[in-house]
Amino acid sequence: MAVIITDEAYSDLASISDFIGQDSPNNAEKFINEIFEAIDNIEENLLMYRKSIYYGDEKHRDMIFKKYTVVFQIAKSDINILAVFKARNYQKK
């Protein structure tokens, strides 16, 4: 399975990096590297992640990474990363 990061999720990650980078560019770079590593490892054990509280089906899962939620969808041949956010800031589109 390929892990595909949607444009919206890339935008989320850029915003998070910019926010962290205001205080520490080094911490922003470290965070982004770590979250990309975690995202790359999702396919190793898809079902260990909880069913998404933002969607009502088995295909959507939430990976919690530090204080952020990574919402992904399990498709037939891909894993689609849909959004990355702090839970209290998210509104489903």
Which CATH number belongs to the domain containing residue 50 in this structure?
3.30.2310.20
Residue 71 lies in a domain: yes
Q: Give the residues of the chain that fall short of pLDDT 50.
A: none
H/E stretch holding 5 reads strand 2-5
Helix axes 7-23, 25-40, angle to 10 degrees: 150
pLDDT at 5 (0 to 100): 96
pLDDT at 20 (0 to 100): 94
Total domains in the chain come to 1
pLDDT at 89 (0 to 100): 56
Residue 74 lies in a domain: yes
CA distances from 42 to 22, 48, 65 (A): 29, 9, 12
Rounded Cα gap, residues 47 and 63, in angstroms: 10
Rounded Cα gap, residues 17 and 2, in angstroms: 24
Task: Tell me the residue range of the domain where 34 lies.
Answer: 2-88
Task: Give the CA count within 13 Å in the CB-facing half-sphere of 49.
Answer: 25
